[in-house]
Chain A
Amino acid sequence: MQVEVRGITKCFGAVRANDDISFTVPSATIEGILGENGAGKSTLMKILSGFYRPDSGDILLDGKKVEIDDPADAIRQGIGMLHQDPLDFPPLKVIDDFLLGKRGGLLPRRRAVIREFNELAARFDFSIDPESYVDTLTVGERQQLEILRLLWLGARVLILDEPTTGISLPQKEKLFATLKKLAAEGMTVLFVSHKLEDVESLCNRATVLRQGRLVGTMEPPFDTKALVGMMFGKEVPQEPKAQPRMGGTVLHARQVDLEGIRIQIKGVDLKVRAGEVIGLAGMEGSGQTLFLSACAGLAQPVQGSFCLDEEEKDMTGRTYHEFRKRGVAYLPAARLEQALIPGLTLTEHFILAEGMKGFFIDRKKSEELARRRISLFNIKGRPDSPVESLSGGNQQRALLALMRDPLKLILVEHPTRGLDIESTIYIWGKLKERCAHGTAIVFISSDLDEILKYSDRVLVFFAGKVTPPLDARTLSVERLGRLIGGKDWDRLETEAAHA
Chain B
Amino acid sequence: MRDTRANRLLFQIGAVLFALLVTVLVLFLAGAQPFAAYKYIVLGALGSWDVVTNVLVSWVPLLLATSGLLVTFTVGLWNIGIEGQITLGAVFTTWAMRLLQDSGWNPTLILVLALLAGILGGTLWALLAGVLRTFGGVNEIFGGLGLNFVATALNIWLIFGPWKRPGVASMSGTLPFDRALWMPIAAGSSRLTPATLVMAVVGIIAVYAMIEGTYFGLRLKAVGKNPKAAYILGIPTWQNMMASFAICGVFAGLAGAVQVTAVYHRLIPSISSGYGYLGLMVALLVGYRASLAAPVALFFAALNVGSIQLPIILKLDSSLAGVLQGTLVLFVMLGNGIRARLIKKGT
Asked if B218 and A324 sit within 8 Å, CB to CB, the answer is no
Q: Which of B213, B221, B228, B236 contacts A321 (CB 8 A)?
A: B236
Asked if B214 and A339 sit within 8 Å, CB to CB, the answer is no
Q: Which of B209, B213, B228, B235 contacts A352 (CB 8 A)?
A: B235
Task: Specify which chain B residues have a CB less than 8 angstroms from the CB of A358 in the assembled complex.
Answer: 215
Asked if A360 and B214 sit within 8 Å, CB to CB, the answer is yes
Name the CB-closest residue of B to A358: B215
A338 CB-CB contact with B under 8 Å: yes
CA distance A295 to B225 in the complex (A): 26
Task: Specify which chain A residues have a CB less than 8 angstroms from the CB of B214 in the assembled complex.
Answer: 359-361
A36 CB-CB contact with B under 8 Å: no
Asked if A340 and B229 sit within 8 Å, CB to CB, the answer is yes
Q: Give chain A interface residues in 295-348, CB to chain B under 8 Å.
A: 320-321, 324, 330, 332, 337-344, 348
CA distance A324 to B234 in the complex (A): 7
Name the CB-closest residue of B to A343: B225
Task: Specify which chain B residues have a CB less than 8 angstroms from the CB of A348 in the assembled complex.
Answer: 218, 221-222
B313 CB-CB contact with A under 8 Å: no
Asked if B222 and A344 sit within 8 Å, CB to CB, the answer is yes
Name the CB-closest residue of B to A363: B213
Task: Specify which chain A residues have a CB less than 8 angstroms from the CB of B16 in the assembled complex.
Answer: none
Least distance between B209 CB and chain A CB atoms (Å): 8
CA distance A361 to B219 in the complex (A): 11
B216 CB-CB contact with A under 8 Å: yes
A205 CB-CB contact with B under 8 Å: no
Task: Specify which chain A residues have a CB less than 8 angstroms from the CB of B49 in the assembled complex.
Answer: none
Name the CB-closest residue of A to B209: A360
A351 CB-CB contact with B under 8 Å: yes
Asked if A344 and B225 sit within 8 Å, CB to CB, the answer is yes
A475 CB-CB contact with B under 8 Å: no
Least distance between B71 CB and chain A CB atoms (Å): 16
- Scoring B residues 202 to 246 as 1 if CB is less than 8 Å from chain A, else 0, what string do you get? 000000010001111011011001101111111110000000000
Task: Specify which chain B residues have a CB less than 8 angstroms from the CB of A342 in the assembled complex.
Answer: 225-226
Q: A320-B231, A341-B230, A352-B218 are in contact. Are A361 and B225 (CB under 8 A)?
A: no
CA distance A356 to B216 in the complex (A): 10
Least distance between B45 CB and chain A CB atoms (Å): 36
A355 CB-CB contact with B under 8 Å: yes
Q: Which of B216, B232, B234 contacts A339 (CB 8 A)?
A: B232
Asked if B232 and A359 sit within 8 Å, CB to CB, the answer is no
Asked if B215 and A351 sit within 8 Å, CB to CB, the answer is yes
CA distance A355 to B215 in the complex (A): 9
Q: A360-B214, A361-B213, A361-B214 are in contact. Are A355 and B229 (CB under 8 A)?
A: no
Asked if A353 and B234 sit within 8 Å, CB to CB, the answer is yes
A402 CB-CB contact with B under 8 Å: yes
Name the CB-closest residue of B to A324: B234
A349 CB-CB contact with B under 8 Å: yes
Task: Specify which chain A residues have a CB less than 8 angstroms from the CB of B222 in the assembled complex.
Answer: 341, 344, 348, 352
Interface centre among A320, A341, A348 (most CB of B within 10 A): A341
Question: Chain B contact residues: over half helix, strand or loop, or mixed?
Answer: helix
CA distance A344 to B232 in the complex (A): 15
Q: A324-B234, A352-B222 are in contact. Are A359 and B215 (CB under 8 A)?
A: yes
Least distance between B146 CB and chain A CB atoms (Å): 23
CA distance A353 to B235 in the complex (A): 8
Asked if B228 and A353 sit within 8 Å, CB to CB, the answer is no
Name the CB-closest residue of B to A355: B234
Interface centre among B229, B231, B234 (most CB of A within 10 A): B229
Interface size in chain B (residues, C-beta < 8 A): 20
Q: A341-B225, A343-B225, A344-B225 are in contact. Are A361 and B232 (CB under 8 A)?
A: no
Number of A-B contacts (CB under 8 A): 64
Asked if A352 and B232 sit within 8 Å, CB to CB, the answer is no
Least distance between B141 CB and chain A CB atoms (Å): 21
Asked if B225 and A352 sit within 8 Å, CB to CB, the answer is no
Q: Which of A321, A337, A359 contacts B216 (CB 8 A)?
A: A359
Interface centre among A324, A332, A348, A352 (most CB of B within 10 A): A352
CA distance A478 to B66 in the complex (A): 64
Asked if B216 and A349 sit within 8 Å, CB to CB, the answer is no
Asked if B228 and A337 sit within 8 Å, CB to CB, the answer is yes
CA distance A330 to B215 in the complex (A): 23
Q: Give chain B interface residues in 315-344, CB to chain A under 8 Å.
A: none
CA distance A359 to B216 in the complex (A): 7
Q: Give chain A interface residues in 138-195, CB to chain B under 8 Å.
A: none
Asked if A402 and B233 sit within 8 Å, CB to CB, the answer is yes
Task: Specify which chain A residues have a CB less than 8 angstroms from the CB of B209 in the assembled complex.
Answer: 360
CA distance A348 to B221 in the complex (A): 10
Asked if B231 and A361 sit within 8 Å, CB to CB, the answer is no
CA distance A154 to B233 in the complex (A): 50
Name the CB-closest residue of B to A387: B229
- Scoring A residues 355 to 376 as 1 if CB is less than 8 Å from chain B, else 0, what string do you get? 1101111000000000000000
Least distance between B286 CB and chain A CB atoms (Å): 17
CA distance A351 to B218 in the complex (A): 9
CA distance A239 to B216 in the complex (A): 49
CA distance A402 to B234 in the complex (A): 11
Asked if B221 and A338 sit within 8 Å, CB to CB, the answer is no
Task: Specify which chain B residues have a CB less than 8 angstroms from the CB of A320 in the assembled complex.
Answer: 231-232
Least distance between B213 CB and chain A CB atoms (Å): 5
Asked if B233 and A353 sit within 8 Å, CB to CB, the answer is yes
Name the CB-closest residue of A to B223: A341
Asked if A338 and B229 sit within 8 Å, CB to CB, the answer is yes
Interface centre among B213, B228, B234 (most CB of A within 10 A): B234
CA distance A348 to B220 in the complex (A): 12
Least distance between A413 CB and chain B CB atoms (Å): 11
Asked if B233 and A349 sit within 8 Å, CB to CB, the answer is yes
Name the CB-closest residue of B to A320: B231
Least distance between A196 CB and chain B CB atoms (Å): 35
Task: Specify which chain A residues have a CB less than 8 angstroms from the CB of B234 in the assembled complex.
Answer: 321, 324, 352-353, 355
Asked if A356 and B225 sit within 8 Å, CB to CB, the answer is no
Asked if B215 and A356 sit within 8 Å, CB to CB, the answer is yes
- Scoring B residues 21 to 46 as 1 if CB is less than 8 Å from chain A, else 0, what string do you get? 00000000000000000000000000
Least distance between B262 CB and chain A CB atoms (Å): 31
Asked if B230 and A352 sit within 8 Å, CB to CB, the answer is yes
Name the CB-closest residue of B to A402: B233
Q: Give chain A interface residues in 86-131, CB to chain B under 8 Å.
A: none
Asked if B226 and A341 sit within 8 Å, CB to CB, the answer is yes
The 9 A-B residue pairs whose C-beta atoms are closest, nearest first, are A341-B226, A343-B225, A338-B228, A341-B225, A341-B229, A341-B222, A352-B233, A353-B233, A360-B213
Q: Identify 28 residue pairs between A and B in the complex whose beta-carbon atoms are under 8 Å apart, listed by A's number.
A: A320-B231, A320-B232, A321-B234, A330-B232, A337-B226, A341-B221, A341-B222, A341-B226, A341-B229, A342-B225, A342-B226, A343-B221, A343-B225, A348-B222, A349-B233, A351-B215, A351-B218, A352-B230, A352-B233, A352-B234, A353-B234, A356-B215, A360-B209, A360-B213, A360-B214, A361-B213, A361-B218, A402-B233
Given A337-B229, A352-B219, A352-B235, 19 other A-B residues pairs in contact with their CB atoms under 8 A: A320-B232, A321-B236, A338-B232, A340-B229, A341-B221, A341-B222, A341-B230, A342-B226, A343-B221, A344-B221, A352-B222, A352-B230, A352-B234, A353-B233, A355-B234, A358-B215, A360-B213, A360-B215, A361-B218
Instruction: Give the interface of B toward A (CB within 8 A).
Output: 209, 213-216, 218-219, 221-222, 225-226, 228-236
Instruction: Give the interface of A toward B (CB within 8 A).
Output: 320-321, 324, 330, 332, 337-344, 348-349, 351-353, 355-356, 358-361, 402
